[in-house]
Amino acid sequence: MLKALIFDVDGTLAETEDLHRQGFNRAFEALGLPWHWSPELYAELLKVMGGKERLVHYIERFHPEEVDGLKRRMPEIHDLKTRFYGELAESGGLALRPGVRRLVEQARKQGVRLAVATTTSRPNIDLLLRLNFPDGAQPFDVIAAGDEAAQKKPAPDIFALAVHRLGIDPSEAIAFEDSAAGIRSALAAGLPVLATRSRYTKSHRLDGAFSAVSDLGEPDAPHSHLQGHVWPDGVVTLEALRDWHAGHLRGAA
């Protein structure tokens, strides 16, 4: 029985990554750092999971002679980036991806629990949910975020934490991801994965996902099928997920 849907955030619930990139660039400028992360560079940096970890990687790779001094400034840089990210999001740049609200509402109405498993920080998640569910009806039963897990994706820790908090077996849930590292993380936690390719993961291999699509689709705007399981009419619905899940369990028996 399908009991839960577990979502990544950045690139999966919403196309947040370019707002993070812009937030970093605004922080660099405000602090007098002569750095600029282009979309192309940021796509490479996204192979490192977690904003703080990404910043460390950038410093070590591009400014090795200043590592010690720059690492001491990391909290200041990241905190300022988070503030600028919030300002950009508040200005209207943080809408849910196609099909997300529809599927979330279907799950809530039919008693399927919802969770978040992400490397992003809790304030960013709270902001996303507040902007998209302004009536206060935040739909997620469990949020596993940021530094709550010992290891970032592709380690399974954050998905395993979400499963634990839901009180279910991994076989009773489906994970939604947009990146290669996220897919590996969910699979390592024992979860089947549906992948939706995002702006910054166009070059990622989506190996391991039982289905990969451009997005979850809407009745008047079906998604593009990329690989694996094909969804009726180009739309991922709760009914179709339940049908796939039941067949998956029968095949594994």
Which residues participate in catalysis according to the annotation? 8, 10
Q: Is the dihedral of CA 204, 209, 213, 219 positive or negative?
A: negative
**215 contact partners, CB below 8 Å, separation of at least 6:** 97, 98, 99, 196, 223
115 contacts 144 by C-beta, under 8 angstroms = yes
CA angle 81, 85, 91 (to 5 degrees): 150
Q: What is the CA radius of gyration of the chain?
A: 18
Residue 133 CA to residue 144 CA, distance in Å, equals 19
156 contacts 185 by C-beta, under 8 angstroms = yes
184 contacts 154 by C-beta, under 8 angstroms = yes
